Amino acid sequence: MIVSFSTIFYTERARIGALGLESGLPVVGQLRDTTQAGGFMSYGHEFRDTWYRFAYFIDRLLKGTKPGDMPIEQVDTFELVVNLRTAKSLGLTVSQSTLLR
């Protein structure tokens, strides 16, 4: 089951993880928090880093930097998180090469 990012899915992540385990479906999402709440795997960027960069740009704007003088940035770091306890509960095998990465 693929869970997209939205406020309702985020607030219900523990229940979604539990439902995935009950039904035998691996839950895959975008946020590390989904995996920590019982989901099988997540792949995405860390939103905390995005908020830090957001604060940096707001600070520059408040100090008088013109918006046109600031660069456009794109997230370039992504992380893969696998919940091995969930994988074991679902009878899934995670390859050694994936674990080493």
**pLDDT (tens digit, 9 = 90+) per residue, 22-60?**
999 999 998 888 899 999 999 988 777 888 888 999 999
Question: For position 4, what pLDDT does the model report?
Answer: 84
pTM over 0.85: no
- Domain that includes residue 68, residue range: 2-100
CB of 49 closer than 8 Å to CB of 43:
no
Per the structure, the count of domains in the chain is 1
**How is residue 82 written in tokens?**
């696998």
pLDDT (mean) for 60-73: 92
CB of 90 closer than 8 Å to CB of 26:
yes
Q: Nearest Cα to 38, choosing from 26, 55, 48?
A: 26
The span from the CA of 55 to the CA of 43, in Å, is 24
In sequence order, what DSSP letters do the residues of 30-68 get, joined into one string? SSHHHHHTT-SEEEE--HHHHHHHHHHHHHHHHTT--GG
